[in-house]
Amino acid sequence: MKSQTIKQFIDHHFRHFNAASLKEAAKGYVRHIESGGKMMIALGEL
């Protein structure tokens, strides 16, 4: 299996009309991280 990036996976498999929102969110996240931003992820039990 050929190695691929998450971006390549999204571009190939997410072609439906809602995919534009996912792609824009992913691009925004990359810009945020590249500009020194941070992301907090909280995992909890329900």
Task: Identify whether 45 is part of a domain.
Answer: no
Look at residue 14 and tell me if it is in a domain.
yes
Q: What is the pLDDT at residue 32?
A: 94
Q: How many domains does the chain have?
A: 1
Quote the longest CA-to-CA distance of the chain: 37
pTM over 0.85: no
Write phi, then psi, for 35 (nearest 5 degrees): -90, 10
Q: Per-residue confidence at 38, pLDDT binned at 50, 70, 90? A: very high
- What's the pLDDT at 1? 52
In the numeric block, the tokens 């992913």 are attached to 26
Domain that residue 19 falls in: 1-36
